[in-house]
Structure 1
Amino acid sequence: MVAPIVNVLGELGTQTVVYMPNIISAIILLVIGLVVGKIVGRVVKEVLTRIKLDYYVTETHKPVISLSDIFALIVRWWIYLAFVAAALSREVLGIPSLAEWMGEITGFIPNVIGAAVIVIVGYVIGEYIRAQMKKMKEIYASLVGKILYFFILYVAVALALPILGIPATLVNNILLVVIGALGLGVAIALGLGLKDAVSEVSKKYVRKFRI
């Protein structure tokens, strides 16, 4: 009765001793990943703060959510997950299926960062153009500025979506619907607003024709 238990415990102890270097290696990788992630996250935060990213992407210059903090968090966790995937690999803990899944996540994060950068750059450019147009004294300068702003933002989103694996046709279809709705609204507004003016012009032409 005792012998089988002793054999099981002995085998378990042997496997633990054999597997211990892998466990230690995994722990070392996780600690290194934690340290590197924190350091790189702080560096990213510092760089984005110095270039005043949050200042340029908000109209009030008092952001509710700090984009610098968000990017730093994404980069930090990207590094964490990369080291976790390395620790789970076949060479260390020997869990390849989980390591592959973690690897897919870490491989997708750069796409998210790239898409976010494109949208932010488009937003900053569009906001700058809209602000400059707003300063002009022309009658329709503000309207043109808003149109250019939304067009640039649309282009940025259309460029960013394929990076995330989402076809841009979805945005194109939405844009067509929005443009159609806006066009219909403008046509109705102009029709109602110019109704009296058109009526007066028509009466003048009718009187002139009768003469």
Structure 2
Amino acid sequence: MVQDWYIVTIQALQNLWQLFLTFMPKLIGAIIVFVIGWFIALGVGKLVAKILNLIKLNQFFARGGWDEALEKAGLKADVAGFIGAICKWILVIVFLLAAVEILGFIEFASFLGQVIGWLPNVIVAVAIFVVAVILADIVEKIVRASVEKTKVGFAHIAGVIVKWSIYVFAILAILLQLGIVPYLIQMLFAGLVAMLAISCGLAFGLGGKETASDILDNLKKKLKGE
């Protein structure tokens, strides 16, 4: 009886040791792949940020006054660094997926594959938000100046309403891009588009055409550094 238990225990330990010997090369390979991938991702992220700084992307946003608008919306004004960070983390996830596949974790690898497939939607959503912040800043100035010209008051309120309407519009577009409640979002999206079209039409009808032209001319001069 004691001998049987001894044999069973020895066989179990041998099987465990065999599994360990089989798994260790995979683990070492996965660690090497991920560590190399981490340094590559870090380098690419810094390189992208450096290139964008060389073409003066941050200065471009600063000239238009959009860095302040982004900061008010909760986004750091270092646009080049932000884009570099996105590139870095995309590569980190890609190399993590490669490491997980080496280890043979099929379900986790499948999950990471779905995350990578979803990343373009997230990037587009971020782009929509940035464009919305910039557009809201420009349109708010146009509407506020247009209403001030009519001397009916409430120029500040009108500007804030239009700005937040664009924010809501952007949020709906982002949710639609991410596939969250698509049918409801499409209905709200259509309604908001109609409302914005009417609001912009009224603003231009109240003398906003000249104001918009002046604001856009000033913006062009700022972007050119004049």
TM-score by length of 2: 0.59
Relative distance call for 1:133 and 1:47 in structure 2 (3 A) is farther
Q: Is the 8 A contact 1:40 1:76 kept in 2?
A: yes
- The residue type equivalent to 1:15 in the other structure is L
Q: Give the unaligned 5+ runs of structure 1.
A: 180-211
Residue 171 of structure 2 aligns with an amino acid whose one-letter code is V
Calculate percent identity across the aligned residue pairs: 25
Between the two proteins, the alignment pairs up a number of residues equal to 176
Which stretch of the first structure deviates more once superposed, 113-122 or 50-59? 50-59
Out of 15, 18, 25, which is 2:19 matched to? Answer: 15
Give deviations 1:23-62, integer Å, cap 9, x for gaps.
2221122112211221233234445654125762424978
Supply the distance in 2 between the matched residues of 1:125 and 1:148 (Cα, whole angstroms).
11
Aligned-pair distance for 1:114?
0.8
Q: Which of the two has higher C-alpha Rg?
A: 1
The answer to whether residue 184 in structure 2 is matched with residue 169 in structure 1 is yes
3-state secondary structure, aligned to 1:40:
helix
Q: Does 1:109 align with 2:119?
A: yes
Compare relative contact order (CA 8 Å, sep 6+) and give the higher one, 1 or 2: 2
TM-score by length of 1: 0.62
Say if 1:150 and 1:168 are closer, same or farther in 2 by CA, change over 3 A: farther
Which range moved further: 17-26 or 109-118?
17-26
Alignment pair present for 1:25 and 2:29? yes
Contact 1:126 1:152 in 2 (8 A): yes
Q: Which runs of 5+ in 2 are unaligned?
A: 196-226
1:51 paired with 2:62, answer no
Structure 1: how far apart are the matches of 2:175 and 2:51? 26
Q: CA deviation at 1:104?
A: 1.7
Residue 87 of structure 1 pairs with residue 91 of structure 2: no
- Is the Cα contact below 8 Å between 2:140 and 2:162 reproduced in 1? yes
Report if aligned partners of 1:158, 1:168 keep a CA contact under 8 Å in 2: no
